[in-house]
Amino acid sequence: MSYNYSDTAILVFCKAPVAGAVKTRLMPELTAQAALDVHIELTKRILGLLFKSQLCSIQVWCSPDMGHPFYQDCVDKYDVSLHQQQGNDLGERMFHAIDEALKKSSRVLLIGCDCPSLTIADLDFAINALQQSNDIVISPAQDGGYVMIGMKQAYPELFIKMTWGHAGVFSATLQRIKQSTLNTIQTVMQWDLDTFEDFKLYKNNKM
């Protein structure tokens, strides 16, 4: 396949679709199966957008392993490559994926599966930002985290020994970026689908 940015890769972090193990914050308002369906829908949505855009190569980084049949289905439908997440926490897994991907690509963007507001235009902006003098491009989320980070070089100080899953993740990351004197640019504010309130917003926006 011919890509618009052949020297860039997008890394999509994805949990295996297992009922009761994904989108647990949507329960009990949704059943475990319904929460699983949301996870699958969001994953297929972003992979479908990336595939149709032909923006750049797509890597799916799998957790807990690559054995679930869903992953092979993604390979067949969306022309992705599969990779194993490695590390003791989210930060270590993110750094490992970025570090590995940069061995073959000049730029990488790392995203999750659950950000309905993230568009191809946002990702195109991020890639172009990295083609300029910016070291880091990042997409802040309304909940205080971030939904995308991109770079041309792996910076362990942005990921290792970081506390995740709280409303200060984005500000803490910006502080580490500042301490490392890295040039950074932000995309527009995004929102990801974590809670039942997020789910209702997502369904309303689809209508």
Q: Could you give the domains of the chain?
A: 8-200 (3.90.550.10)
Q: What is the pLDDT of residues 141-195, one digit of tens each?
A: 999 999 999 999 999 999 999 999 999 999 999 999 999 999 999 999 999 999 9
pLDDT of amino acid 205: 81
Q: Mean pLDDT over all residues of the chain?
A: 96
Per-residue pLDDT tens over the stretch 97-123: 999 999 999 999 999 999 999 999 999
pLDDT in tens, 18-37: 999 999 999 999 999 999 99
The reported pTM is: 0.96
Q: What is the mean pLDDT of residues 60-89?
A: 97
116 preceded by a cis bond (ω within 30 of 0):
no
Q: How confident is the model at residue 207 (pLDDT cuts 50, 70, 90)?
A: very low
Residue 1 has pLDDT above 80, yes or no: no
